[in-house]
Structure 1
Amino acid sequence: MNRDDNRKTDMNNSWTEFKQKYLITFWNPISAIIAAGILATYYFGLTGTLWAVTGEFTRWGGHLVALFGGDPKNWAYFKIIGLEGMPWQRSDGLLLIGMFAGCFAAALWANNVKLRTSKYPIRIFQALVGGFIAGFGARLAMGCNLAAFFTGIPQFSLHAWFFAVTTAIGSLVGAKVALLPLFRTPLNIKKVNQHTVLTQNPQQVKRRFILGSTIFFVTALVGLALLFVIPKLGIALLFGVAFGLLIERAQICFTSAFRDLWITGRAYMAKAIILGMLVSTIGVFAFIESGATPKIFWAGPNAILGGLLFGFGIVLAGGCETGWMYRSVEGQVHFWWVGIGNILGATVLAYYWESLAPYLVNDFEKINLLKLAGPYGGLLINYALMIIALFFVLWWEKRFLAKRKKMAIDTSSKTSGCC
């Protein structure tokens, strides 16, 4: 073998190793969520807006209403969030398009696309109803797990703290309801005599990798081209692709962060999300001090009720906004229904906003912690609250696991004791 052949072999081995490590193997959630927090910070600094999704999904619902003869542009809610143009003409729309493209590309690279359905009708009911409740609650609070939580808290909006706490409470109730016998499906256990060998069609893997690469590069090239025409749209599309890659490859789902905490005591995802916000907050603060305007929303009953509904809905449905997005492109049909329910719930809220706002929104302030306590006072308050949240999560995890261990010991003692 000559030198050129050795070099070619080394390059092939390096590419295979890179592909396996970064494009096929799932990424570390903590690193990915911290990266998402940093990206969200720069997205705010460059565009003045948030990494958010349900506002745009609500607009998609508005377009559907208009398609069937309605006039959503005159709804009070759309006068607040806007309904001008089509999704590809708005930064929020291109952000979502980019996220779906990034998710799909990542899933194809890893050959993680397969049509998966459930034969149990109760699962469709859970997906639709849970998604509807979550979508309604998210837009009532003016944000979901992103704009009213992960990116809302680093914006120093008090409403995001109301939403975060009540989402946790709502998810606890949702976890208890989801464990009721009504929602339990029978386990189909089969006796096997040997392990099933998992095989992949090499040609299918290759085709999917090429398709994923095509989607990624075409979307990225369109984003780069838009930078020279309408920079904000180009930035939105490129950041959307990056967010999509992160949530699919790291399987970032806020539902699991809350649900796992209550059901299994596992706090891995919850801790990762708090760390991501801790990193993001200082960057957002720097941009605000440089003149950027944070997104502050009403700290009223709408945020509290919205959080309760959202937390309950995402656990009942089995996925939040980021969760259903990447799972739907992976072929999990259950999450198509979650997405449909989510958009329907958000659209219904938009329709009834004018009736609800006088009681839940209009008489309440948009409270900016930086203005309430001064720049550094607000920064300290935000960090103190996040540290308290982190300590609570750590305490709950330790308490839960210790309690479960004690129960296991007690059970073992009873079964092994003699009479």
Structure 2
Amino acid sequence: MPLPKFLKEPWRPEVAGALIGLVAVLQIIVVRSPWYITGPENQFGGWLFYVLTGGLLNTKEWAYFNPNSPMFVAPAAAPWEPANKEFMIVWGFMLGAMIAKAIEGNWRLRWPANRMVVLLSIIGGLMLGFGARLALGCNVGNFVATIQSLVFSGFVFFLGMAVGTFISTRLIEDFLMEKMHKSKPIRIELGSNVDNRKVLAFALAATLLTTLYWWGLGIWAAIAFLYLGIAYGFFGSKGNVCFTSMLRDGFWSRLAPYGGNARAIAIALAIMITGNLVLKYGFGWQYREFLFPVGVHTFLGGVLFGIGMVLVAGCSFSSAYRSGEGSIPHLIAWFGMVAGMTILSYVWPFFFTTSIYLSPVLHFYDFFGGNVAAGAAAAYSVALFIALVGSWRDGTLQRLVQIPPLKILAPRLHV
């Protein structure tokens, strides 16, 4: 039986953004936690460094990973360990995108165009990791997930990302573009022509085997994270949703001004805010919110993360799901991000004691005398601002404003 046509074609990013927002609300209901990514990746990085160095880097004793430390966050753990079951959401991103592209018939290995791309993927990935760990979260955990809960750190991290993407966009478009074109090309044909039916079969088999593994352990939460991740990755891939494009193309780029991703993220954010308000304040639903303290570390982490996003042409979400699409540059960047987070975890005590521990947790409504409605309006305004700026830059708003008024034809009177 042939698949529906809409599954074989790309989607508008706004549609994908709306579906991602709904999945994020569903995640609050199913696993009682907001959408997040980098925490489990950091745990994976701690384990990976330990294994690759044969224990010479005893990451398990670092304050970040050591349960006996007062600065402990999470243990270093492999993706298949129950202590890191949340990593299944990242694995789901990759499988979901693989399924999406295989159904379209567009899955293939995409190798770096030249050596400069490889270098930027490594440097940008490291900066993504540094920024995400310094700010306690990435564009998902410390932007949409915190603003969803009306936590002010998300707004400060957004400002930092905006500054970082401006710096990096100007760097790329004004100085590095010519060097990238002159860089020695990399010509690899391996995986450029594959049977997408086999790719789809592999992705479905991997999904089934992963499900059976966690079912055998009786850890249903891991299965839930897996399928939530598959949904995020599938929708993200179908709409080519990317937070990098939201800021680079929607705010700063002179070469490719485009507001589709800005509108997609704004729609997803608005749905997530609404879901939080209805569930938490309407039904009293309790879940693990990210009450991140806001301080210098939040803004600085956002700046580093923003610079890294443009260098790799991807965020923590899109780098993961595009790896599942077969993009080798994004896979390099993803491992770079994991390495960056793990490296910064080594100096975690310094940042924890000098900024993070000393910083307050603030909500939007704290600036309005505790008025939740006013705080929610401020959070919605962030989404509206993102949508309007992106829509203005790509001309969508101007076209809407210039719609000619409907002409009402009055009957002629004959005397």
Q: Distance in 2 between matches of 1:49 and 1:21?
A: 31
Q: Give a deviation string over 1:165-207, Cα, whole Å, max 9, x none.
A: 220121011101112444433389xxxxxxxxxxx98x93443
Q: Distance in 1 between matches of 2:232 and 2:386?
A: 25
- Which stretch shifts more, 303-312 or 40-49? 40-49
Does the CA contact (< 8 Å) of 2:91 and 2:229 recur in 1? yes
1:350 match: 345
Q: Distance in 1 between matches of 2:145 and 2:204?
A: 29
Q: Give a deviation string over 1:78-132, Cα, whole Å, max 9, x none.
A: 3543116532323311222222222222222223222232352211111100111
C-alpha displacement at 1:348, in angstroms?
A: 1.3
Cα separation, partners in 2 of 1:399 and 1:244, compared to 1, 3 Å: closer
Does the CA contact (< 8 Å) of 2:98 and 2:200 recur in 1? no
For the pair 1:58 / 2:27, whether they are aligned, the reply is no
Which residue identity does 1:43 align to in structure 2?
Q
Q: Distance in 1 between matches of 2:125 and 2:74?
A: 23
- Which stretch shifts more, 332-341 or 370-379? 370-379
Which residue identity does 1:57 align to in structure 2?
E
Which residue identity does 1:21 align to in structure 2?
F
SS, match of residue 186 in structure 1:
helix
1:324 match: 319
> Of residues 368, 378, 381 in structure 1, which corresponds to 2:378?
381
1:178 match: 172
2:331 match: 336
> Of residues 116, 123, 134 in structure 1, which corresponds to 2:117?
123
For the pair 1:210 / 2:213, whether they are aligned, the reply is no
Equivalent runs, 1:261-410 vs 2, <5 Å:
261=250, 262-263=252-253, 264-289=256-281, 290-293=284-287, 294-370=289-365, 373-398=370-395
Which residue identity does 1:132 align to in structure 2?
L
Which residue identity does 2:258 align to in structure 1?
R
SS, match of residue 286 in structure 2:
coil
1:4 match: none
- What's the TM-score, normalizing by structure 2? 0.81
2:404 match: none
Q: Give a deviation string over 1:230-253, Cα, whole Å, max 9, x none.
A: 332222122112112112222221
Cα separation, partners in 2 of 1:165 and 1:21, compared to 1, 3 Å: same
Q: Distance in 1 between matches of 2:381 and 2:103?
A: 41
Cα separation, partners in 2 of 1:210 and 1:75, compared to 1, 3 Å: closer
Which 5+ residue runs of structure 2 have no aligned equivalent? 66-70, 184-191, 400-415
For the pair 1:160 / 2:157, whether they are aligned, the reply is no
2:6 match: 21
Q: Distance in 2 between matches of 1:186 and 1:398?
A: 29
C-alpha displacement at 1:221, in angstroms?
A: 6.3
C-alpha displacement at 1:161, in angstroms?
A: 0.4
1:38 match: 22
C-alpha displacement at 1:164, in angstroms?
A: 0.8
C-alpha displacement at 1:395, in angstroms?
A: 4.2
SS, match of residue 76 in structure 1:
coil
Which 5+ residue runs of structure 1 have no aligned equivalent? 1-11, 189-199, 403-419
C-alpha displacement at 1:217, in angstroms?
A: 4.9
- What's the TM-score, normalizing by structure 1? 0.81
C-alpha displacement at 1:60, in angstroms?
A: 1.2
Cα separation, partners in 2 of 1:275 and 1:80, compared to 1, 3 Å: farther
> Of residues 61, 75, 78 in structure 2, which corresponds to 1:74?
61
For the pair 1:133 / 2:127, whether they are aligned, the reply is yes
Which residue identity does 1:327 align to in structure 2?
R
SS, match of residue 107 in structure 2:
coil
Q: Distance in 2 between matches of 1:354 and 1:265?
A: 41
For the pair 1:259 / 2:248, whether they are aligned, the reply is yes
Q: Give a deviation string over 1:277-318, Cα, whole Å, max 9, x none.
A: 111111112222214142210111111001111111110122
Cα separation, partners in 2 of 1:84 and 1:359, compared to 1, 3 Å: closer
Cα separation, partners in 2 of 1:206 and 1:353, compared to 1, 3 Å: closer
Cα separation, partners in 2 of 1:179 and 1:385, compared to 1, 3 Å: closer
Does the CA contact (< 8 Å) of 1:298 and 1:366 recur in 2? yes
Q: Distance in 1 between matches of 2:273 and 2:259?
A: 21
Cα separation, partners in 2 of 1:367 and 1:378, compared to 1, 3 Å: same
Does the CA contact (< 8 Å) of 2:126 and 2:336 recur in 1? yes
C-alpha displacement at 1:63, in angstroms?
A: 0.2
Equivalent runs, 1:224-263 vs 2, <5 Å:
225=215, 229-261=218-250, 262-263=252-253
Structure 1 vs Structure 2: percent identity of aligned residues? 24
Does the CA contact (< 8 Å) of 1:220 and 1:241 recur in 2? no
After superposition, the CA RMSD in angstroms is 2.8
For the pair 1:106 / 2:100, whether they are aligned, the reply is yes
Does the CA contact (< 8 Å) of 2:47 and 2:76 recur in 1? no
- Which stretch shifts more, 179-188 or 353-362? 179-188
C-alpha displacement at 1:215, in angstroms?
A: 3.9
